[in-house]
Structure 1
Amino acid sequence: MKKSLIALAVLAASGAAMAQSSVTLFGIVDANVGYVNHSGAANKSVYGIGTSGNATSRLGFRGTEDLGGGLKAGFWLEGELVNDAGNPAGFNFLRESTVRLSGNFGEVRVGRELTPTYRPFVKYDLFGQVGIGRNESLLRNWGGSTTADASAVRQSNIISYYSPNMSGFTGGLGYGFDEKATGKEGRYVGVYGAYDNGPLSAALGFERRNVNAAGATDQDKMTLGASYDLKVVKLVGLVQQTKLKTGSVSNKYNAYALGVTAPVGAGEVKAQYAMYDQKAIDSKAHHLSLGYVHNLSKRTALYGTVAYMKNKDASALGLNALGVTAGGPGAGNNQTGMQLGIRHAF
């Protein structure tokens, strides 16, 4: 009898411990047949099997432990899957590798992750920052810096804080260390505030990053995004200014985007227009994207996207047909692309 009671007590304690801690394996596999014209130096049409046309293919592990009193510890490890070729360069956790502590105060993260001034704005791109339809401004390394993470999409060696939701208002900030004895190349600081309540969503962010070897060039970005859901259609807009400052010299890159999406049966239709005003080279590009996503289930979808990039003057922006395109169309040339694919999440 005593042995039975002891066994029951051990099982109960074990069950409580397991209820307080969990680890999840998750991921997405996305593949498509893609096409782009005027690709690379040869200026030829390219066809092939691409990846990440609707969502970035990825594999990750995340876990949490309940420490009691509303306090939780956790981790997040995530890497990209290059599923059209099987990750020939190997697998890593460059997408995210953080340890976290959260509670009523919000959440603190340490490691490598999307910056607090990029993460809140992905939802204001109807194409989710992937594929040929994506808004290029959020991901663009406008100055062509060779500094790692010059686009400030992700940051290594960062400590970040995200506030709890307070009647729809949230905020966050982050500081990325340069970890250098001299200079400050790679240093990042950013802050954002957002409001999400009912049909209205809006966010404003500002960041500064040092993007050359001497740490003498500051890259300042200000981003404003907003959306309004009318149920029958959803309207989305985004404005961003990137300013590169070296001493008294300043170069600007402005970007504007407007989009609309509407539910259609088991899927949605989306259309987006973006204009990239590259004042530093006195040139512009116009980007039109049309897409349809058909949900076969909660985890599987078919999709199709067509896009057109019209470059003016010295602009040489290209479409992101990952795994297919060999590059942009060259200065002043246009590019058209198409992707038909399937995305499965697990």
Structure 2
Amino acid sequence: MHPSKLMWSLMALAPCLASAQSSVSVYGVVDMAISSYHGTGSGSKQMLTSSGNQASRIGFKGQEILGDGLSAGFELEAGLNTDSGTGQPTSADNQKNTDSGGGLTFNRKAYVYLQNNDWGQLRLGRDYTPAFWNLFAYDPFRVGVGISSQVVYGTTATGFRASNSIGYFSPGCYSFQCKGAFFQGMVAFGENGGNAPSRHDGDLHAFRLGYGGENFDVAIASATTKSAAYGDYIQRNIGASYLWQGHRLMGLLGQNRTSNLVNFKDGGSANRINFWQLGAWISTGPGKGYFPVSYMQLRRNDVQGASSARKLAVGYVHPLSKRTVLYGTYAHISNKGALRFPVSSGSAQGPEPVAGGNASGVDLGIRHIF
């Protein structure tokens, strides 16, 4: 073949070779439920809610194989309120959850990464904090009326995710469940200027350390976010799970605290919440449905007198296929002292009860993944 023809043939083939080393995919969840929530002294509320079993979202991810065990990739994931078609808020500075006009924002994930089989993965962007992964991994409900995330308070902009972050994941452990010893670390920046005392607000450092065996896993995590008003906001927790005859048993223990007192809208003033939770996924057989159940207790050290809450949640998830399930969840929360937690802490909150009152609710829904 003439050299010029060979050159043009190779140039024509180059995009095909490049595409063989790269991949981009679209994925998502559409989850809708009919919900009815009640709060003592506040009446009841019926509504269509999003994310009763899994968080509704749309995402894009891709990876390019660079060779010699090295790859690069990205993930962009936007939370959706599928009952109204709106997007969800994000936080540009790790100090507030208000940076959204109701349109689509990649509030859940927005990062690029470099990965090597020997040294692990480095991520840059917006991502889950290491302390959040335990709340997710060891809560049987994770979202919806059954979730127990009421324990998050203080600078809640970093309760689940952090913007402007640099994250590290040990080899083979790029999500919340891993095998063998694993480590996750993160630093993030509030990106404030000047010399004011608040210049470090929104700065975060966090880690998660654990071990995954054949039928169990355990992990400890901590995250600290700077705040001039509250002092350091610290999340610490430890969680574990055990797989037994198809059933997954879970436990979670933790503390959230601030250096300074926080004045809550319920009238309490405190700087510490201790909590624990026991839960399980009770399987009805291989390829069949399961019953998620959980029981949680928390205690807040109000200077006016300690406040506490207990929450019980039970549900059933019935698969129609690998992608589609029907589900139902019932939850009840009992508040004591100044606490007035609603039964749901998600984007569609139920009525807040009076101080020390109870709340309850039910979700009946359908979830489809793609």
Match of residue 200, structure 1, among 187, 192, 216: 216
Alignment partner of 1:157 is 2:164: yes
Letter in 2 for 1:178: G
| Distance in 2 separating the partners of 1:244 and 1:321 | 21
Q: Please report how far the alpha carbon of residue 250 of structure 1 lies from its aligned counterpart in structure 2 after TM superposition.
A: 7.8
Match of residue 298, structure 2, among 270, 273, 276: 276
Q: Please report how far the alpha carbon of residue 322 of structure 1 lies from its aligned counterpart in structure 2 after TM superposition.
A: 4.7
- Contact in 2 for aligned 1:207/1:222 (Cα 8 Å): yes
Match of residue 292, structure 1, among 316, 329, 333: 316
- Contact in 2 for aligned 1:317/1:330 (Cα 8 Å): no
- Mark the CA change 1:29 to 1:62 in structure 2 (over 3 Å): closer, same or farther: same
Match of residue 259, structure 1, among 279, 282, 286: 279
Q: In the alignment, which residue of structure 2 is the partner of 1:24?
A: 25
Letter in 2 for 1:200: F
SS in 2 for 1:90: coil
| Distance in 1 separating the partners of 2:165 and 2:272 | 26
Q: In the alignment, which residue of structure 1 is the partner of 2:188?
A: 176
Percent identity of equivalent pairs = 34
SS in 1 for 2:344: coil
SS in 2 for 1:158: strand
- Higher mean C-alpha deviation, range 109-118 or range 321-330: 321-330
- Contact in 1 for aligned 2:224/2:232 (Cα 8 Å): yes
- Mark the CA change 1:123 to 1:216 in structure 2 (over 3 Å): closer, same or farther: closer
- Higher mean C-alpha deviation, range 221-230 or range 12-21: 12-21
| TM-score, normalised by the number of residues in structure 1 | 0.89
Report 1:129-168 matches (<5 A): 130-137=143-150, 140-141=152-153, 143=154, 145=155, 149-151=157-159, 153-165=160-172, 168=180
| TM-score, normalised by the number of residues in structure 2 | 0.84
Q: In the alignment, which residue of structure 2 is the partner of 1:301?
A: 325
| Distance in 2 separating the partners of 1:231 and 1:73 | 39
Q: Please report how far the alpha carbon of residue 121 of structure 1 lies from its aligned counterpart in structure 2 after TM superposition.
A: 3.8
Letter in 2 for 1:258: L
For residues 276-318 of structure 1, give each alpha carbon's deviation from its aligned partner in whole angstroms, at most 9, with x where no partner exists. 1112351110000001111111111111000000111111111
Q: Please report how far the alpha carbon of residue 50 of structure 1 lies from its aligned counterpart in structure 2 after TM superposition.
A: 0.6
Q: In the alignment, which residue of structure 2 is the partner of 1:93?
A: 106
Runs of 5+ consecutive residues of structure 1 not aligned to the other structure: none
Q: Please report how far the alpha carbon of residue 46 of structure 1 lies from its aligned counterpart in structure 2 after TM superposition.
A: 0.6
- Higher mean C-alpha deviation, range 170-179 or range 119-128: 119-128
Q: In the alignment, which residue of structure 2 is the partner of 1:54?
A: 53
- Mark the CA change 1:64 to 1:333 in structure 2 (over 3 Å): closer, same or farther: same
Letter in 2 for 1:344: H
Report 1:313-324 matches (<5 A): 313-320=337-344, 322=346, 324=348
For residues 106-132 of structure 1, give each alpha carbon's deviation from its aligned partner in whole angstroms, at most 9, with x where no partner exists. 11111111112212441100002x001
Q: In the alignment, which residue of structure 1 is the partner of 2:361?
A: 337
Q: Please report how far the alpha carbon of residue 94 of structure 1 lies from its aligned counterpart in structure 2 after TM superposition.
A: 1.0
- Higher mean C-alpha deviation, range 198-207 or range 115-124: 115-124
| Distance in 2 separating the partners of 1:87 and 1:44 | 27
| Distance in 1 separating the partners of 2:134 and 2:68 | 28
- Contact in 2 for aligned 1:46/1:325 (Cα 8 Å): no
For residues 217-248 of structure 1, give each alpha carbon's deviation from its aligned partner in whole angstroms, at most 9, with x where no partner exists. 1112211000111124321100011121139x
Match of residue 127, structure 1, among 126, 136, 141: 141
Q: Please report how far the alpha carbon of residue 24 of structure 1 lies from its aligned counterpart in structure 2 after TM superposition.
A: 0.7
Equivalent pairs counted in the alignment come to 334
For residues 31-87 of structure 1, give each alpha carbon's deviation from its aligned partner in whole angstroms, at most 9, with x where no partner exists. 000000127xx7011111111000000011111111111111111111111110111
- Contact in 2 for aligned 1:271/1:290 (Cα 8 Å): yes
